Each structure stands twice: as structure tokens, then as C-alpha cells.
């Protein structure tokens, strides 16, 4: 067997693999003898089928299998031994594609086109500048958040007349085609939140009504949802899906969620561990929480801008013609040349970032171990359900935590999500500690506009 490499351009080459009879003959003979030993052919005892017959029946398939096996292993070993790092996978030689005939050939030549990974210089340092945005909540957003907190801790109070968002309690009675009470029809006492009435015309019927008023409506049309309709009528979902009757709703009570007053009692309910006395203290505390909730968005934008900065800094050249062919071949029947033209810059940018990311991993030993994942799972469940420090855990708690960790670790999809989450965190923190960060404060509206204009 002989393997040679010929350069075909900047970062591209063709590899020629020559396989001769002595490379595969022994393995082919062995495989055919194995077929002979197992073959069950009428007229012959097991293991006594003439070798020539076995060769005629299975020789071509066995030869093709062994040649392809040698080809795959030899190509892989050649790349590894010669430390050739390639982009994607080798592609069958486009210019030197030769028809193979396993019936008559004993020696074979195969050609493969490869695209090679480019060398580039990139060091994480303060020469690379990236913005980090702290998003400030404006007064309108703050007022909306405070109103939401007030509603969350509010109480239901009985009122006289309904308006949007109220809750009405009453009796539902199914009607027949004439508008009279249906014999053996559905009767149910229920509460209806006006927020759950999706049909605008029906919701309008419920606005401005009071105790003892009556409303005729179609529950399934009102909600547009069989599950909600079933709950309203006290029936099964399957029955609700077929329900098309009109119902009379007689109002017994109207209730409204009254927001909690802005006072020390609300401050304590919202932030039990803090002792706030004034509305200003409360507003500042809520504003701080809102800014903290934006950290995920800020981190994501920081990574997006970091990718752009690092790709520009590295100035990587790629074998574009090879990559075009590779992308089309691996996405056969899924991607047209026209669509590739539209998205090709994105493919190139993604490929460049993958090369940079691999280099960062190598230079900074950036990895996530199984133990890291187990600790993350353990800490998550400990914080969510057990609320205890590890040194204070009793044996029962430890066993329960260990069982939960084991259960999650058996879910490969979930483990992959945790791995990606931990890896992304480590990469982000590494970048924050090595490149120059320009801290900027920005409003949420400005930030949203910035994100929409960022081209990855």
C-alpha cells in the first residue's frame, strides 16, 4: 500500500491511496473461509461447501468490504501520523474519480480531496476590546414591575360591576336549540376569569355586568381551548372538544384582584430578608433586581461581540471552494447552491470561530469534567429542595441527592445541556479576564436596538 499527497492550492491537497492485492488478500481469504464454515447450502454439509462456490457467491462483496476498511483506516492513520488537521472530512477526488470494478481489478487507486486547517496567530489580551453593557431599567419599566409585584401580593375583593381582568363566579346551565334549559344538560357552578375569554365579542358581553345578571355564550368558542372549557363545565376534555351548546351564565359574585398598597408590609413580603422603610428604598431594590435579571442578555451580547472581535483579530483564510463543495455534499438534497450563496458568509464565520474556539481550548485547557457536571446537578437540587450546606447534610439527604445526580447523569440530552452551559460560562469568564472590557450603561430600548443591529 502506498499513500502520497499532492498540493492543489492554498490549504487544499489531493491524497492518493494505492491498495494492492497483498494488502487485502489474507483478510479476504479469512473472511471467505468464515463464510464457508457458516454457509448452509442445499446439497452440502455445513463447512463442506466448495471454496470456489463460496468465492463466487461472496467474493466481490467481501473484497469490497475489506478494501474499503483498509482505505478508511489507512487514510485516517496517514492524517494522524503526518499531523494533518483537516476541515470537515475528505471528499472523493473530484478531478480523478475512477470507476472501480471489483470483478476484474486486483489493484486499486483512490483519490481524496482535503481542505486543511490554516495556521493563525491569536492571543487573548487587552489589545482586543469588547463592550459589556449594563442595562438600566427606565422609570416606565420600573413602574410596570412594581405594579406586577403589587398584583402578586394583592388580595381578591368583591366589587359591584365587572371590568377587564375581573373574576366572575356563577352558575352555568346548558341550553337547547330553542334557548331553554336543556333536559339532562350540563349544570355547573364555576369561576371565570375574563382574561381567559379569548373571543372579543363574548368577552365584551362580560364587561359591565353585576350580580344576578345573565350572559348567554358558547364556552368552547369563548376560550378556544378544550382543556379550559372542560374545566369550566366540569366535564372531560374529549367531551368538551365536541361541545357546541350555548350556556346561560348567572352571576353570583364579581371579584377583582386589588393590588397591595405600597407600604412596609409589601416591602417585607417582596424582600423578607431586608428592612425597608420607604418607597424610594423599595424602588431602588426593585430596580437592582431588574438590572440583575438583564445579566443573561448582557452576557449573550458580550459573547456575540467577542466572537466578532476575535474573528476579525485572527484574520483567518479558508479554502472557500473546497468548503462550498463540502457543505453542499454533506447537505445533499437539503441545500441549494443559491441558498448556500446567501448564507456562505455565515458558514465561514462559524467555521473561523470554531477554529478559534478550539485554539482557546488548547491554549487554556478549557474543559468540563463529569465531576463538574455532577457538582452542578448536586448544587442545583440542594439549593432548590434541601436548602442545606453540604457539611450539614444527614445521610438520608446525601443519599437522595446522590440518587438525583445519578438519575440526571443517565439522561444524555440533559447532561449535554449542562455541559454546554458550564462550558459557555467558563469561556465567557475566561474572555472577561483576558481581553479589555469597556463597561457601558445603556437603556433597555437602546440595548434592544443594538442587539437587532449586531450582525454575527
pTM for the model stands at: 0.68
Whether residue 446 is found in the same domain as residue 357: yes
Is residue 268, in this structure, part of any structural domain at all?
A: no
Whether residue 334 is found in the same domain as residue 445: yes
Quick check: 108 and 18 in contact, CB under 8 A?
A: yes
Query: Which residues pair with residue 86 across a beta bridge?
Result: 116
Q: Is the pLDDT of residue 389 over 60?
A: no
Whether residue 105 is found in the same domain as residue 209: no
Whether residue 299 is found in the same domain as residue 208: no
Instruction: Mark which of 196, 230, 258 sits at the end of a domain.
Output: 258
Which bin fits 9, alpha (ψ -120 to 50), beta or left (φ > 0)?
left
Q: Is the pLDDT of residue 128 over 90?
A: yes
Quick check: 149 and 263 in contact, CB under 8 A?
A: no
pLDDT of residue 455: 73
Identify the weakest region by mean pLDDT among 247-251, 333-337, 370-374, 427-431.
333-337
What is the average pLDDT across 106-126? 92
pLDDT of residue 163: 95
* Each residue's pLDDT tens digit, 279-301: 999 999 999 898 888 999 999 99
Whether residue 53 is found in the same domain as residue 166: no
Q: Is the pLDDT of residue 229 over 80?
A: yes
Higher pLDDT pick, 393 / 390? 393
Whether residue 436 is found in the same domain as residue 311: yes
Whether residue 86 is found in the same domain as residue 234: no
Is residue 355, in this structure, part of any structural domain at all?
A: yes
Q: Is the pLDDT of residue 239 over 90?
A: yes
Is residue 271, in this structure, part of any structural domain at all?
A: no
* Each residue's pLDDT tens digit, 130-142: 999 999 888 899 9
Whether residue 233 is found in the same domain as residue 310: no
pLDDT of residue 385: 64
User: Running DSSP on this structure, what letter comes out for residue 248?
Assistant: E
Give how many domains the chain has, as a whole number.
Answer: 3
Whether residue 398 is found in the same domain as residue 304: yes
Is residue 283, in this structure, part of any structural domain at all?
A: no
Is residue 124, in this structure, part of any structural domain at all?
A: no
* Each residue's pLDDT tens digit, 311-327: 999 989 999 999 999 99
Output the average pLDDT for the chain: 91
CATH number at residue 100: 3.30.70.1050
In 153-263, which ranges are continuous DSSP H helix? 200-206, 219-223, 226-233, 237-241
Instruction: Mark which of 204, 233, 258 sits at the end of a domain.
Output: 258
What percentage of the chain carries pLDDT values higher than 70?
A: 97
Query: Which residues pair with residue 170 across a beta bridge?
Result: 190, 251
Q: Greatest CA span in the chain, whole angstroms? A: 101
Cα–Cα distance between 390 and 392 in angstroms, integer? 5
Whether residue 36 is found in the same domain as residue 167: no
Whether residue 29 is found in the same domain as residue 162: no
Is residue 129, in this structure, part of any structural domain at all?
A: no
The 3-state DSSP class for residue 379 equals helix
Is residue 423, in this structure, part of any structural domain at all?
A: yes
Instruction: Mark which of 235, 258, 281 sits at the end of a domain.
Output: 258
What is the average pLDDT across 328-356? 91
Whether residue 188 is found in the same domain as residue 99: no
pLDDT of residue 391: 47
Cα–Cα distance between 93 and 13 in angstroms, integer? 10
* Each residue's pLDDT tens digit, 48-77: 788 888 888 888 899 999 999 999 999 999
Residue 243's domain comprises: 157-258
Cα–Cα distance between 63 and 104 in angstroms, integer? 11
Is residue 131, in this structure, part of any structural domain at all?
A: no
Amino acid at each position: 500500500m502506498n499513500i502520497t499527497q499532492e498540493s492543489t492550492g492554498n490549504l487544499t491537497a489531493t491524497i492518493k491511496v494505492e491498495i494492492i492485492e497483498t494488502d487485502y488478500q489474507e483478510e479476504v481469504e479469512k473472511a471467505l473461509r468464515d463464510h464457508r464454515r457458516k454457509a448452509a447450502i442445499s446439497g452440502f454439509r455445513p463447512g463442506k461447501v466448495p471454496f470456489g462456490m463460496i468465492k463466487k457467491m461472496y467474493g466481490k462483496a467481501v473484497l469490497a468490504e475489506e478494501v474499503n476498511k483498509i482505505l478508511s483506516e489507512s487514510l485516517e492513520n496517514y492524517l494522524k501520523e503526518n499531523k494533518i488537521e483537516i476541515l470537515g472530512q475528505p471528499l472523493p477526488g473530484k478531478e480523478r474519480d475512477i470507476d472501480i470494478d471489483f470483478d476484474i481489478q486486483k489493484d486499486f487507486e483512490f483519490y481524496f480531496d482535503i481542505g486543511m486547517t490554516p495556521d493563525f496567530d491569536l492571543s487573548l489580551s487587552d489589545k482586543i476590546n469588547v463592550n459589556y453593557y449594563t442595562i438600566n431599567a427606565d422609570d416606565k419599566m420600573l413602574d410596570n414591575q412594581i405594579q406586577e409585584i403589587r398584583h402578586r401580593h394583592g388580595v381578591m375583593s368583591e366589587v359591584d360591576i365587572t371590568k377587564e381582568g375581573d373574576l366572575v363566579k356563577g352558575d352555568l346551565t346548558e341550553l337547547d336549540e330553542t334557548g331553554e334549559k336543556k333536559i339532562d344538560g350540563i349544570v355547573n357552578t364555576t369561576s371565570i376569569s375574563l382574561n381567559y375569554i379569548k373571543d372579543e365579542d363574548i368577552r365584551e358581553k362580560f364587561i359591565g355586568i353585576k350580580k344576578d345578571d345573565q350572559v348567554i355564550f358558547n364556552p368552547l368558542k369563548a376560550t378556544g381551548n378544550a382543556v379550559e372549557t372542560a374545566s369550566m363545565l366540569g366535564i372531560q376534555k374529549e367531551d368538551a372538544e365536541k361541545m357546541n351548546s350555548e350556556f346561560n351564565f348567572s352571576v353570583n359574585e364579581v371579584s377583582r384582584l386589588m393590588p397591595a398598597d405600597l407600604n412596609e408590609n409589601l416591602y417585607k413580603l417582596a424582600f423578607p430578608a431586608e428592612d425597608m422603610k420607604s418607597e424610594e428604598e423599595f424602588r431602588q431594590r426593585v430596580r437592582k433586581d431588574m438590572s440583575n435579571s438583564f445579566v443573561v442578555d448582557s452576557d449573550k451580547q458580550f459573547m456575540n461581540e467577542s466572537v466578532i472581535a476575535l474573528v476579525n483579530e485572527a484574520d483567518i483564510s479558508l479554502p472557500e471552494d473546497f468548503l462550498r463543495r463540502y457543505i453542499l455534499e454533506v447537505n445533499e438534497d437539503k441545500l441549494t447552491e443559491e441558498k448556500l450563496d446567501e448564507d456562505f458568509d455565515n458558514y465561514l464565520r462559524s467555521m473561523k470561530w470554531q477554529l478559534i474556539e478550539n485554539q482557546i481550548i488548547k491554549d487554556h485547557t478549557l474543559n468540563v469534567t463529569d465531576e463538574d457536571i455532577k457538582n452542578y446537578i448536586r448544587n442545583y437540587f440542594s439549593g432548590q429542595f434541601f436548602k442545606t450546606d453540604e457539611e450539614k447534610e444527614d445521610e438520608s439527604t446525601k443519599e437522595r441527592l446522590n440518587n438525583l445526580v445519578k438519575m440526571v447523569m443517565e439522561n444524555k440530552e440533559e447532561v449535554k445541556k449542562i455541559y454546554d452551559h458550564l462550558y459557555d460560562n467558563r469561556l465567557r469568564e475566561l474572555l472577561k479576564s483576558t481581553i479589555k472590557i469597556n463597561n457601558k450603561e445603556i437603556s433597555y430600548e437602546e440595548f434592544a436596538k443594538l442587539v437587532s443591529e449586531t450582525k454575527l
